[in-house]
Amino acid sequence: MARETVIIVTDRYLFPCREGHQARIIELVRALQARGIRVVLVGPRIPWRILPRLPGPRYMLQTWLFADDFVPVDGARFASGSPTTSDYIPYAAALERAVARHQPIAVIAEYLWMAPCLDVVNDGTLRLLDTHDIMHLRREMYAGQPEGAWVECSRQEEIDLLARADVILAIQQHEQRLFGEMLPEKRVICVPHTMKLPRHPARDTPGEVVAFVGSPIQGNLLGIHSFIEQAWPRVRRSRPRAELRIYGGVAERVEIAAAGVQRVGRVRDLGKVYGTAQVVINPVTLGTGLKIKTVEALAHGKAVVTTSCGAAGIEEGAGSAFLLEDDMKAFGSTVAELLSDRSRRRTLGFAAHRFAHERFGREAVLKELIAVLRPQAVPEMPVLAAH
């Protein structure tokens, strides 16, 4: 019997994986493949003009090996502004050809601006839209901030684009409820971030390292600046040898210099980052969706301190799987206390690891999606080896 096929269309580069949205798409592909589903990826080809800045041939080869089939598109990537202005036509044309060739059971469009691509999908093939965020709320949330919102759209514009899908994928339960209110006639399912979870928590090694991992988006920058200005002095007064190490693209944008702060930047192996950190922080106060770096730190069994914003979608773990502080001075005191209490860090780390396995293991995350893709399937299906 031929394997069922799902096509995913995206204008995002997936490799090298440096940001949460890339990790989400990559892990979704891997999780579907682990359930025996063949995944065809329709995505961007690297333009020749940027090859000197990216390992172009390696990217193309890696993408081809990653997906069961890769359809490269010579199309622009949506950068900012209204999603209705996105030049989706090259992606829609490539998707139409891929649908005709592969006869998929479903097509998943990644992000709101790819929704018009679903119009080329034949009736009888499921059209799904993976939202990542509620975009109109970002405009309201970032109003007055220096850079504004990344995506500018009204609630009605978002509804009109979402309506092109048969099924809407929300990344967390609160957003699932909000999407349900926006489109009561549509099926909205919750598909959180999934990942290959570490079998054991990372060891709590000696030291006093606080780690922050983030992409160079405005919410991350505002959060780490607030932490350095308000929380870090409290940490250093209590723990003079403490180090704050900032990883990811956000490190390139941090302008505040302070004793004990190191801007490390991008790294290939986040496992080593979590293995050398005693505490992981996520001090963001702006943003929607699910904070994937928070989830990754929990999955590695680290003692995590975050804010209500950083805990969006995982609120039930506050106080047991991680610690939550919205006041930055109290945030700093909590970090300092954890640095001085290895036993508490270990207790939190084990609880974090268990919480991540219960909430973000592939079986739990894919339950609703598989029910949509295979409505007649027997619930207890054998899981195949990952692709």
Q: What are the φ and ψ backbone dihedral angles of 264, each rounded to 5 degrees?
A: -80, -45
- Mean residue pLDDT of the chain comes to 90
Q: What is the pLDDT of residues 71-88, one digit of tens each?
A: 999 999 999 899 999 999
Q: What is the pLDDT of residues 7-64, one digit of tens each?
A: 999 999 998 887 888 989 999 999 999 999 999 999 998 765 554 555 556 666 777 7
pLDDT band at 195 (very low <50, low <70, confident <90, very high): confident
d(C-alpha 17, C-alpha 55), whole Å: 13
d(C-alpha 336, C-alpha 231), whole Å: 10
pLDDT reported for residue 377: 60
Burial of 214 (0-12, 13-18, 19+ CB in 10 A): buried
DSSP 114: G
pLDDT reported for residue 292: 83
Fold of 5-195+362-373: Rossmann fold (3.40.50)
Whether residue 222 has pLDDT greater than 50: yes
Q: What is the pLDDT of residues 318-365, one digit of tens each?
A: 999 999 999 999 999 999 999 999 999 999 999 999 999 998 888 888
Non-local CB neighbours of 93 within 8 Å, separated by 6+ positions: 120
Q: Considering the entire predicted model, what is its pTM? A: 0.80
Fold of 209-360: Rossmann fold (3.40.50)
pLDDT reported for residue 270: 85
Chain region(s) in the chain for CATH 3.40.50.2000:
5-195+362-373, 209-360
- Sheet of 279-282: strands edge to edge? 261-265, 243-247, 209-213, 279-282, 303-306, 323-324
Q: What is the pLDDT of residues 276-315, one digit of tens each?
A: 999 999 999 887 777 888 999 999 999 999 999 999 889 9
Residue 140 to residues 84, 115, 134, 135, 157, Cα–Cα distance (Å): 18, 22, 11, 9, 14
Q: What is the pLDDT of residues 229-265, one digit of tens each?
A: 999 999 999 999 999 999 999 999 998 889 999 999 9
